[in-house]
Amino acid sequence: MLAFRSTFLHGVKTVQYSQAKSFIVGRGCLGSVNLKGRSFLTLKDFNPDEIKHILWMSADLKHRIKHEGQYLPLLQGKSIAMIFEKRSTRTRMSTETGFSLLGGHPCFLTPQDIHLGVNESIKDTASVLSGLTDMVLARVYSHSTLEQLDKEASIPIINGLSDLYHPIQILADLLTLQEHYGSLRGLTVAWIGDGNNILHSLMMSLAKLGVNLRIATPKGYEPDASITREAQHLFKQFGTELQLFSEPLEAARGSNVLVTDTWVSMGQEEEKTKRLKDFQGYQITMQTGRVASPDWTFLHCLPRKLEEVDDEVFYSPHSLVFPEAENRKWTIMGLMACILTDYTPETPKLKL
């Protein structure tokens, strides 16, 4: 009987997802966008209309709840399991407060509460959580853990961070830039730093929204080669520019947005001394900003270290880091509402 139930639930999920996952990137959805029941592991799996819809939903909830003071219990009676192999301030707070604000119940699980693949197999954990909650957000070391969770679960899985991608951060970045510039199309983003999971997510999304990307990484710290090849195809497909450099000022030249991140991620502490040496000259300063576009802004996913960006930039009017951090809440709320409800935004669509 248990085997039948597992097979039946997995079959239901397969039916729900099969049509949603078999789109052609770049082509608009037929009719209105429907993301209900979808997992969110990487922005590679989402076409332009779907990304725009998530941002529209996020902006709508922000306007109605924050600015109009409305109460929207869209997730009343629903729960989310939050699995954190890695600690986080913004991911935990944005998800917990956002899910609660929409009337749902978040359940936070630390490595002391749940050892994926240790005390219990990932397959069994996925089956158990599928019967107890409506959704899982997992912040993990290995992207393969997310893929296995998604394969075995009958409920949607959200990537809260993995070694390959950090897509929920990019949603916040995109909404922040839309709010500041009024539109995303035609902007040029300069990434100056490590070829990491956030950069990979930018590479899988910006072209679909008409944004150019200039990347500067030290030699030996380039983005993943297979992701780079896929990104080159995407940028060519959407008529946008992707350029790779090893000199920070070359990437910054003429760019609207300067972005960096930690040089030493969790799990890389033993490499800290070497990394700090290899990244010398990559600190973002006002000198970096002087070669950028006059309207340049700065983003950082936080927490930030002084060697990555100096105080003059970080606390300047150019810096959008704190609106960016707040938008982590509104965008995760928008994403969860897209996946778990039939709600349609009431505010006008964003200009993207």
Quick check: 352 and 76 in contact, CB under 8 A? no
Give, for 138, the enclosing helix (H) or strand (E). Answer: strand 135-139
Preceding omega of 317 cis (within 30 degrees of 0): no
Question: What are residue 20's phi and psi, to 5 degrees?
Answer: -65, -35
Quick check: 260 and 282 in contact, CB under 8 A? yes
Nearest partner of 52 among 342, 338, 343, 327, judged by Cα: 338
Mark whether 301 is an active-site residue. Answer: yes
Quick check: 309 and 262 in contact, CB under 8 A? no
- Give the C-alpha separation, 273 to 138, whole Å: 30
The three-class DSSP label of residue 90 is: helix
- Considering all CA atoms of the chain, what is the largest pairwise distance in Å, rounded to the nearest integer? 67
The three-class DSSP label of residue 305 is: coil
- Give the C-alpha separation, 97 to 289, whole Å: 35
Quick check: 178 and 171 in contact, CB under 8 A? no
The 3 state secondary structure assigned to 157-186 is EEEEECCCCCHHHHHHHHHHHHHHHCCCCC
How far lies 281's CA from each of 78, 196, 247, 262, 351, in Å?
A: 48, 18, 9, 14, 36
- Give the C-alpha separation, 196 to 275, whole Å: 13
Residue 25 is encoded by which pair of tokens?
A: 């990137």
- Give the C-alpha separation, 220 to 224, whole Å: 11
Q: 137 pairs with which residues across the strands? A: 82, 158
Residues marked as catalytic: 301
